[in-house]
Amino acid sequence: MTQMNGSESYVQAARALPPRLRREALSLPEQEQSRAEELRLRVGWPMTALLEGEERSLGGPPVEEEELEQLVEIASHASLHTVLDQVRRGYLTMEGGHRIGLCGTAVSREGEIHALRALSSANLRVARQVKGAAAPVLDRLCPGGRLADTLILAPPGLGKTTLLRDLIRSVSQGEGCTPLRVSLADERGEIAALYNGRPQLEVGRRTDVAEGCPKAQGLMLLLRAMNPQVLAVDEITAPEDVQALITAAGCGVTLLATAHGEGRTGLERRPMYRPLLEEKLFRFLAQIRREGERYVYTVEELRT
Amino acid sequence: MIRLTGAVLVAAGAAWLGFQAASGLRKQVRAIREMAHGLSVLERELELNSPPLPRLLAQGEAHSQGPAKELFRGCARGMDNLARESFSALWRRLTGQLTGLGQEGQAILAPLGDTLGRYAGPRQLEALSAARRRLEELAAGLEEDSRRRGRVYQALGLSGGAFLVILLL
């Protein structure tokens, strides 16, 4: 796997665009290409780029519905049947791990979204891996050189997933700690971004990925099938996820997970997360906060 | 002697034309059957593995012959350039080049490009299966026709040649 710089990732993501929109996207100066987080396409409006949280119009003619259909065709290699489950959930992952969020008129069957027709918007998110993101906390999370049970906690947008991905990669590769077999339940494909069975973002050579299945089921499947030493999951959001983690902890695997939250007290206040703390599932709580332009990591020991 | 040689040549030429016409029909039947077989390969592969379209077409190419192999290979190559030509346009264009299938065969095949890769697997299977069945029916009809018309063409060639020989001699 080749590590790309910011603007190379942007150019790769822009390849999914139909020719006219691709030209527009590539007209952005290289420095801005390397900072652009998303390209947003809305039918009837010019395409925009998201730079540091602000949308900037690229000034071209309005996006046509046919162009959104073309985007899906190019990104899926004209193989919608292979990504239909993703599309039903409103996104599709393309080569390089870039993700296209889709919006349109939902076709429902038996209360479930069966398909999206008449696409109205698309959001092309440029995937960028930050290698070394785990370096500031790795030593503290690996007492004696071996990763301990860790919960990463931060509000949205502060880089929980990025930190989790790099921790998985480091542990799986044995960079700065003992190498361990990691099993990853990647329900939404945001961590490894599997494409044709291959992770598009580096998660290490000893990592097995279960993508697309609900987290709780994915965790149990991995526990049964892959004999992991570390079980990793992004965003604990349901009581079933908590229960699955409690079961896994009983099997002797090291747990690595993330959760949305503002701090330990916030976590303790939310009933869903209480069992995690009561059962002392995690030894470390790694928190991320922003101070001005920089991210600050703190590690708190929950059990000794 | 020269007149005799000329007469024999004319007779043989006319007979050859008759046989050629008959063989053209047989070739069309074979091409349509090969195409139908190619579609059945896609159906099987889609049903078993549901692979992405480029891989499906590569499998199709590997296990097909004649026009099917040609079509699948062309489409698989063209898929590197979907930004310039959509799959449906690519399929239609390449189908239009398969003159060996005849217009009816091409007309059955062309709309498949609007379904392949654009819908869920079962819908694609239905379309493939329907096109294959129609091609098989067309081949059966043409085969019967070719037997009848082939004999007529051969007889016409031979008798036309004989008639010319009589005239010339």
Domain residue ranges in chain B: 31-141
Cα(B41)–Cα(B61) distance, rounded to whole angstroms? 9
Q: Examine the domain organization and report whether A255 and A190 are in the same domain.
A: yes
Whether A82 has its CB under 8 Å from any CB of chain B: the answer is yes
B72 confidence band (pLDDT: 50, 70, 90): very high
Stated as kind and residue range, the H or E segment containing A199 is strand A198-199
Q: Examine the domain organization and report whether A17 and A63 are in the same domain.
A: yes
A159 confidence band (pLDDT: 50, 70, 90): confident
Residue A130 located in a structural domain? no
**Amino acid of residue A276:** L
Q: Which residue of A has its CA nearest to B114?
A: A78
Mean pLDDT, chain B, rounded, equals 88
Whether A80 has its CB under 8 Å from any CB of chain B: the answer is yes
Q: Examine the domain organization and report whether A290 and A178 are in the same domain.
A: yes
Residue predicted with more confidence, A223 or B1: A223
Taking 50 as the threshold, does the pLDDT of residue A1 lie above it? no
Stretch A275-290: mean pLDDT, rounded?
91
Q: Which residue of A has its CA nearest to B87?
A: A78
Q: Examine the domain organization and report whether A107 and A178 are in the same domain.
A: no
Q: Examine the domain organization and report whether A159 and A276 are in the same domain.
A: yes
Q: Examine the domain organization and report whether A61 and A165 are in the same domain.
A: no
- Residues of chain B with Cβ-Cβ distance to A196 below 8 Å are 52
- Quick: pLDDT tens for B74-83: 999 999 899 8
Structure tokens at B124: 């694609």
Taking 90 as the threshold, does the pLDDT of residue A56 lie above it? yes
Residue A1 located in a structural domain? no
Whether A73 has its CB under 8 Å from any CB of chain B: the answer is yes
Candidate from A52-56, A229-233, B114-118, B148-152 with smallest mean pLDDT = B148-152
pLDDT > 70 fraction of chain A, expressed in percent and rounded: 97
- Tell me, what CATH number does A51's domain have? 3.30.450.90
Q: Which residues pair with B45 in a beta bridge?
A: none
Q: Examine the domain organization and report whether A185 and A68 are in the same domain.
A: no
- Residues of chain B with Cβ-Cβ distance to A15 below 8 Å are 83
Domain boundary among A77, A103, A125: A125
Cα(B109)–Cα(B68) distance, rounded to whole angstroms? 11
Q: Examine the domain organization and report whether A207 and A181 are in the same domain.
A: yes
Stretch B52-81: mean pLDDT, rounded?
95
Q: Examine the domain organization and report whether A110 and A173 are in the same domain.
A: no
Whether A74 has its CB under 8 Å from any CB of chain B: the answer is yes
Inter-chain CB proximity B119 and A82 less than 8 Å? no
Whether B117 has its CB under 8 Å from any CB of chain A: the answer is yes
- Judge if pTM exceeds 0.80: no
- Residues of chain B with Cβ-Cβ distance to A195 below 8 Å are none
Residue A183 located in a structural domain? yes
Domain boundary among A125, A150, A178: A125
Give the model's pLDDT for residue A203: 96
Whether A77 has its CB under 8 Å from any CB of chain B: the answer is yes
Give the model's pLDDT for residue A178: 96
Residue A82 located in a structural domain? yes
Residue A103 located in a structural domain? yes
* A248 neighbors A231 (Cβ within 8 angstroms): yes
Cα(B118)–Cα(A69) distance, rounded to whole angstroms? 10
Inter-chain CB proximity A77 and B83 less than 8 Å? no
Q: Which residues pair with A301 in a beta bridge?
A: A284
The shortest CB-CB distance from B52 to any of A15, A17, A82 is to A82
- Quick: pLDDT tens for A165-188: 999 999 999 999 999 999 999 998
Candidate from A16-20, A92-96, B3-7, B76-80 with smallest mean pLDDT = B3-7
Whether A108 has its CB under 8 Å from any CB of chain B: the answer is no
Backbone angles phi, psi at A213, to 5 degrees: -95, 150
Domain boundary among A125, A157, A181: A125
- Tell me, what CATH number does A267's domain have? 3.40.50.300
Give the model's pLDDT for residue A153: 95
Inter-chain CB proximity B117 and A74 less than 8 Å? no
Whether A95 has its CB under 8 Å from any CB of chain B: the answer is no
Whether A271 has its CB under 8 Å from any CB of chain B: the answer is no
Size of interface A-B (CB pairs under 8 A): 54
* B117 neighbors B89 (Cβ within 8 angstroms): no
Distances (CA, A) of A114 to A87, A121, A239, A278: 9, 18, 26, 40
Inter-chain CB proximity B79 and A81 less than 8 Å? no
Residue A32 located in a structural domain? yes
Residue A269 located in a structural domain? yes
User: For residue A239, what are the domain limits?
Assistant: 135-301
* A50 neighbors A40 (Cβ within 8 angstroms): yes
Q: Examine the domain organization and report whether A113 and A193 are in the same domain.
A: no
The count of structural domains within chain A is 2
Residue A44 located in a structural domain? yes
Give the model's pLDDT for residue B148: 80
